[in-house]
A and B are shown apart, each in its own frame.
Chain A
Amino acid sequence: MAEVEESSKPLFAGLSDISISEDIPVEGDISVPLGSQNADNDLSTLDEPVKDTILRDLRAIGQKFVHVMYPKKSSALLRDWDLWGPLILCVTLALMLQSGSADSEEDGRPQFAEVFVIIWFGSVIITLNSKLLGGTISFFQSLCVLGYCILPLTVAMIVCRIVLLGGSGIIGFAVRLIVVTASFSWSTFASTAFLADSQPANRKALVVYPVFLFYFVIGWMILTFSPSH
């Protein structure tokens, strides 16, 4: 296409107006990063030290964390998904939501399994919802995005535990409320920045609402957490 345009511009000047002809290289672009990455990796992974392999994966996870913290509209989080980050975040959050002694039966706090199930089941339901509404994103991409976007809430959980060390007065509660609200809106904003593009424009609200509810419930669990004494 480009050759034609270069060689005989006056003849085919009208062709440059056709948007479809410019779409074709973009479609092809989907397979390009996979190929280039394979060329990077496939030879070197055989005889490299285990440390390098692990470090490379960790670096990939870290890069995705950075992408969540600065949610600019890049597709890096979508292109090569992994579920390591979501697993780490989910386990961290669920462990931190445990209070020191979870032995009493009358204790109504969310248990480890409940947090775990809510996060994974919730993101699966949201993913199915967006697929049923006609989203173009794949199943695991969406799971990956939703899982990585828990990061601000996990950070909020750490802050909340530190604040709770100082006692749970009115000021402590106000600080926790602000932190959790900020991280909740951050999570929602980041995930919609990644997910909303894959939806038809007239259905974006329908996809964003479940995401909002999901992070709201997680934020609620973090805000109401209080360690038992």
Chain B
Amino acid sequence: MANTDFHLQFQEFEDDQGYVKSNQGSTTVTIDDPIKSRKQRKTTGTAPEEEEIDPLDSNDQTELLSGEKKSAPFWTFEFYQTLFDVDSHQVKNRIVGSILPWPGKNFVEVYLRSNPDLYGPFWICATLVFAIAISGNISSFLVHHGQPKYKYVPDFRKVTMAATAIYSYAWLVPLALWGFLTWRNRKIASLVSYSFMQIVCVYGYSLSIYIPAVILWIIPSEGLRWFSIVVALCLSGSVLVMTFWPAIRDDKPRITMAIIATIVILHVLLAVGCKACFFSTYEMDPSEDHNEPLRTTNSLSST
């Protein structure tokens, strides 16, 4: 008797789940369900333990459902809340994952899945902006310290410049890449396709390695700076390439190579451009500023 009873309940539960899955976005089921179960519990008799379990139960269900449906339109507050739906340890894991590339580990598949966040990209960019401005300022102070006519000024315009550069890189490049990938996906059916937010998230986290690198640049030694640039580029560049490789693998080899080269060159340009703009050296010549990034990329690729 007890056995059949259990069986029947199990069947009902299965039905419910199927119903929820079949029409996603119907919130009535999620609201109804806990109430129903609470009513059932009340009829069977209320014990204090059960009352305490109940909120946990409904929390579990709402969490599961919010993972399934993401249908809030982009002008609502809820839409942005889904983009900030991360915990501290998740953000920490994502930062570590973007710093340490592991062969065969796709950043999107391992860390992001269907839950890309905007928290990491936004605050990593903000930190990078202020790190560049502040450490550039300190390094120029250290370089010109002994000179008699030098007067220290906190150059505040660098914050604006750095913010423009970093945020436009972190948004425009993913936008272009997303547009290109969507266009290619129309022509060649690729198994892997990334959403715009996933690409933004990958790019935002890939900038995190630059923060310690930029702080290292305070030390006015060219060798150390180039060394940290190369290390940072290798780490974050390989994360980017490995992440986007599955999405473009099935394309023509020429286009694949072009995309990879563009991703890497833009990444190099950002690092070298920041170094040239914000960190003064002893032998810096202002007239050569514009040619600097191109020449250095050539020398980098030849080495």
Chain A residues close to B by CB (< 8 Å): 14, 17-20, 107-111, 114, 129, 131-134, 202-206, 209-210, 213, 216-217, 220-221, 224-226
Separation of A108 and B161 alpha carbons in the complex (Å): 13
Separation of A51 and B198 alpha carbons in the complex (Å): 58
List B residues 83-100 near A (Cβ within 8 Å).
Answer: 83-84, 86-89, 91
Verify B89–A110 contact, CB threshold 8 A: no
Verify B86–A206 contact, CB threshold 8 A: yes
Separation of A107 and B127 alpha carbons in the complex (Å): 24
Question: B73 contacts the other chain (Cβ, under 8 Å)?
Answer: no
- Within the complex, the shortest CB–CB distance from A196 to chain B, in Å, comes to 12
List B residues 14-57 near A (Cβ within 8 Å).
Answer: 48, 51-52
List B residues 277-299 near A (Cβ within 8 Å).
Answer: none
Binds A, one of B108-116, B148-156, B268-276: B148-156
Also in contact, A213 and B127, with CB within 8 A (given A132-B81, A134-B81): yes
Taken residue by residue from 156 to 179, chain B's Cβ proximity to chain A (1 for < 8 Å, 0 otherwise) reads as: 111000000000000000000000
Q: Which residues of A have CB within 8 Å of B156?
A: 108-111, 114, 221
Verify A110–B154 contact, CB threshold 8 A: yes
Verify B51–A206 contact, CB threshold 8 A: no
Verify A18–B48 contact, CB threshold 8 A: yes
Verify A224–B154 contact, CB threshold 8 A: yes
Q: Which residues of A have CB within 8 Å of B130?
A: 213, 216-217, 220
List 12 additional contacts besides A134-B81, A202-B88, A206-B87; criterion CB under 8 Å: A14-B48, A108-B154, A109-B154, A110-B156, A129-B84, A129-B119, A132-B81, A132-B119, A203-B87, A220-B134, A221-B156, A224-B152
* Chain B interface residue bracket vs A: 20 to 34
Separation of A204 and B87 alpha carbons in the complex (Å): 9
Q: Which residues of A have CB within 8 Å of B155?
A: 108
Separation of A146 and B156 alpha carbons in the complex (Å): 23
Closest partner residue, chain A, to B122 (CB atom): A129
Separation of A18 and B89 alpha carbons in the complex (Å): 33
Question: B194 contacts the other chain (Cβ, under 8 Å)?
Answer: no
Separation of A225 and B153 alpha carbons in the complex (Å): 8
- Within the complex, the shortest CB–CB distance from B131 to chain A, in Å, comes to 10
Verify A226–B152 contact, CB threshold 8 A: yes
Q: Which residues of A have CB within 8 Å of B137?
A: 224
Closest partner residue, chain B, to A224 (CB atom): B154
Q: Which residues of A have CB within 8 Å of B52?
A: 19
Q: Which residues of A have CB within 8 Å of B119?
A: 129, 132-133, 206
Also in contact, A132 and B154, with CB within 8 A (given A202-B87, A205-B88, A206-B119): no
Separation of A209 and B130 alpha carbons in the complex (Å): 14
Q: Which residues of A have CB within 8 Å of B84?
A: 129, 132-134
Taken residue by residue from 52 to 91, chain B's Cβ proximity to chain A (1 for < 8 Å, 0 otherwise) reads as: 1000000000000000000000000100110110111101
Verify A18–B51 contact, CB threshold 8 A: yes
Question: B123 contacts the other chain (Cβ, under 8 Å)?
Answer: yes
Closest partner residue, chain B, to A115 (CB atom): B156
Top 8 A-B pairs, shortest CB-CB distance: A108-B155, A224-B154, A132-B84, A205-B88, A110-B156, A202-B87, A108-B153, A18-B48
Separation of A32 and B83 alpha carbons in the complex (Å): 36
Q: Which residues of A have CB within 8 Å of B88?
A: 202-206
Also in contact, A213 and B126, with CB within 8 A (given A108-B155, A221-B154): yes
- Within the complex, the shortest CB–CB distance from B8 to chain A, in Å, comes to 32
Closest partner residue, chain B, to A133 (CB atom): B84
Separation of A65 and B119 alpha carbons in the complex (Å): 31
Verify A109–B48 contact, CB threshold 8 A: no
- Within the complex, the shortest CB–CB distance from A29 to chain B, in Å, comes to 20
Q: Which residues of B have CB within 8 Å of A202?
A: 87-89
Also in contact, A213 and B81, with CB within 8 A (given A108-B156, A110-B156, A114-B156): no
Q: Which residues of A have CB within 8 Å of B48?
A: 14, 17-18
Between-chain CB contacts (< 8 Å), 7 pairs: A108-B153, A110-B156, A134-B81, A203-B87, A206-B88, A220-B154, A224-B154
- Within the complex, the shortest CB–CB distance from A21 to chain B, in Å, comes to 10
Closest partner residue, chain B, to A206 (CB atom): B88
Separation of A18 and B52 alpha carbons in the complex (Å): 8
Q: Which residues of B have CB within 8 Å of A18?
A: 48, 51
- Within the complex, the shortest CB–CB distance from A221 to chain B, in Å, comes to 7
- Within the complex, the shortest CB–CB distance from A16 to chain B, in Å, comes to 10
Q: Which residues of A have CB within 8 Å of B152?
A: 224, 226
